[in-house]
Amino acid sequence: MSPTLSDYALNRRRFLTTVLAGSAVLTLGDLVLPRVARAAAAGPFTLPPLPYANDALSPVISANTIGFHYGKHHQGYATKLNELVAGSPMADQSLEAIIKATAGKADQAAIFNNAAQVWNHTFYWNSLKPKGGGKPTGALAEWIDKSFGDYDKFKAEFTKAATGQFGSGWAWLIKDGDKLAVTKTGNADTPIAHEQKPLLTVDVWEHAYYLDYQNRRADYVAAVLDNLLNWEFAAKNLVG
């Protein structure tokens, strides 16, 4: 079964069940994260804990950046989404269902933007890991060689997408049929709104890097690719 991020967006009923169970865990495919100890926002959608400590990605991404990015921006999207869907049928739906139902609808843009940003950011945190980066191995490496020619050509294409995205957005490695591809999306847009399967992502909104790199987006992207990409997460998404 393909890993999804709907497990991360617990509704209120599931959250209460988790708390009462005490030893329950929150899972994403083969990934296991600590259970949510308390609601992170008043409403059905809550954030999972980060899969590492705030300072674990330093010096590439500082604890200060994580504090604002995860604690303020990511949390802010969840809080706003809860406000927007309160009392509506969407309060009991998964993030994926909300994203697909609202994509491209001008009158529901606010719901789409906040739901997609909750999903995108959760996927981003899991696309990174301490002491990651470099070349992948195994089947994923074979897919990259088949799709791009070799790792260096993939890296150049991904870097071009990430640094060339005008304004805020995301760079993605996706599975596209029988090959892999690099794509980019603006603002809150996400591959799952276009029936594409993401394997990993890098956030290129300014709040992802400005405290550490100021306007040097290219330096941030290079550092993430070389030191933080979570190829194990990408490999699980490839086969899931």
- Binding-site residue set for Mn(2+): 69, 121, 203, 207
Residue 107 to residues 72, 104, 111, 112, 195: CA-CA distances in angstroms?
26, 9, 9, 10, 21
Tokens matching residue 54 = 């705030």
195: left (phi over 0), alpha (psi -120 to 50) or beta: left
How far apart CA 220 and CA 198 sit, in angstroms, is: 21
Residue 143 has phi, psi (to 5 degrees) of -65, -40
Cα(92)–Cα(86) distance, integer angstroms: 10
Binding region: 69, 121, 203, 207
